[in-house]
Structure 1
Amino acid sequence: MILFTKLLLAHLLGDFLFQPNKWVVHKEANKIASKYLYLHILVHVIIAMLLLWDLKLWGWVLVIGISHYFIDLSKLYANPYFENKAIPFFIDQALHLVVLYCCVFNSDLVGHTVGLLQEMNWPLVTAVVFASYPSSIIMAKLLEGMSDRIELDHKSLPNAGKYIGIIERLFVLIFIILGRWEAIGLLITAKSVFRFNDLKESNSRKLTEYILIGTLLSFGLAIITGLIYLGVR
């Protein structure tokens, strides 16, 4: 596991800390002809070798470097086809992590993967998944009749409310698992403070009631999910 951690650190340093924005822009503009693409790969190889400090592993570092080149190159050419640029970014990062995983556990890749899946905390995974998008959809269905009656006179970021709800439910779930119920109260207080100005300016009782119901429903779903997880784990 130490080997994977070192390679992961090398990847994080090479892809984020030691890759200036100038390189990223140049790569996107020139793609395979960009000199910074090759410099970026060289930086990755050097950092990996320095962290591993073992010449016997140079072959795997070379594999990582070559795969990194083709994955990055594929992303550069695939980027224009995606309206949401976050999609190719996360696919790119996932593929890099898969390569690192395969290199580290190549001697027993299938056995290690099966063991990893068997040891995974599936109730926790299920709770986290439910607290995210499924809960958002459930809330949207429950509040559907009310949302049509709310008139908004201000603009907000697309899907901002949905993402705020997902994040707050995940925080609540974490606090329940850790047994820090008081932190949930602080979270509710913080959200109330941030929402106060919006409600004050709108001077709408319907909006106030809608936000209050939505907040209580969101926290309620997260609390129920957390309690069920604690009961079945």
Structure 2
Amino acid sequence: MVLFTKLLLAHLIGDFMLQPVKWVIHKESNKARSKYLYLHVLIHFALYLLVLWDFRLWKIAVVLTLSHLLIDLAKLFSDPWFKNKTIPFFVDQFLHILALYFCAFYTELPEHFTSFIENLNWSLVLAVVFVTFPSAIIMGKLMEPMSGQINTDHKSLPNAGKYIGIIERLFVLVFILIGRWEAIGLLITAKSVFRFNDLKESNSRKLTEYILIGTLVSFGLAILAGLWYTNYL
């Protein structure tokens, strides 16, 4: 695990700290002809050697450098196919991390993967999954009869409410798992402060009640998931 941690550190430094925006733009424009692409890859090679600090492991550095080059090239050429640019970004990062994982555990890959699956806390995975999109859909169904009575005369980001709800429920679940119930109150207070201007400007009792009900239901679903995980397993 130490080896994987070192390699991941090198990757994060190389991809996010030592890659200026100018390089990214140049790579997107020139793709395989970009000089910054190869400079970026060489920086990764140097970082891998630095964190490994053992020249006997040079093959790992070479393999990861070549894989980084190929993955970056694949991203650069496939990027125009996607309207949502976050998709190729996250796929690119996932493939990089997967390559790090394979190189870190190549001597015991089947055993390590089997152990990971066997020791995975499936109940925790279920709780986390439940408070994300399933809870968002449940929220939508519960709030649907009331949403038609709310007049919204302000613009908001697409699906912003759904993602805010998912994030807040994840926070609530984490607070319950670590036993910090008081932090949930702070989260409710923070959300109320941010919502204050919207409610003040709209001066709508229906909107205030709608937001309050939605917040309580959202927090309630997360609390139920947390209680189920901590008390009934």
| CA distance in 2: counterparts of 1:223 and 1:105, whole angstroms | 37
Q: For 1:153, what is the secondary structure of its paired residue? A: coil
Runs of 4+ residues over 3 Å off in structure 1 = none
| CA distance in 1: counterparts of 2:204 and 2:197, whole angstroms | 12
TM-score (norm 1): 0.98
Gaps of 5+ in 2: none
TM-score (norm 2): 0.98
**In the alignment, structure 1 residue 190 sits paired with structure 2 residue 190:** yes
| CA distance in 2: counterparts of 1:170 and 1:223, whole angstroms | 10
Partner of 1:217: 217
- After the TM superposition, which residues 1-233 of structure 1 pair with which residues of structure 2 at under 5 Å, given as runs? 1-233=1-233
Tell whether the 8 Å contact from 1:123 to 1:232 is kept in structure 2 after alignment. Answer: no
| CA distance in 1: counterparts of 2:193 and 2:97, whole angstroms | 40
Residue 232 (structure 1) shift: 3.8
| CA distance in 2: counterparts of 1:232 and 1:81, whole angstroms | 47
**Sequence identity of aligned pairs in percent?**
66
Residue 231 (structure 1) shift: 2.1
Task: Tell me how large the CA RMSD over aligned residues is.
Answer: 0.8
Residue 18 (structure 1) shift: 0.5
Residue 135 (structure 1) shift: 0.5
List per-residue Cα deviations over 1:6-52 (Å, max 9, x = no partner).
10000001101000111000000000100000000000000110111
| CA distance in 2: counterparts of 1:77 and 1:148, whole angstroms | 44
List per-residue Cα deviations over 1:122-155 (Å, max 9, x = no partner).
1111111111111101100111111122110111
State the aligned residue count: 233
Gaps of 5+ in 1: none
| CA distance in 2: counterparts of 1:46 and 1:77, whole angstroms | 25
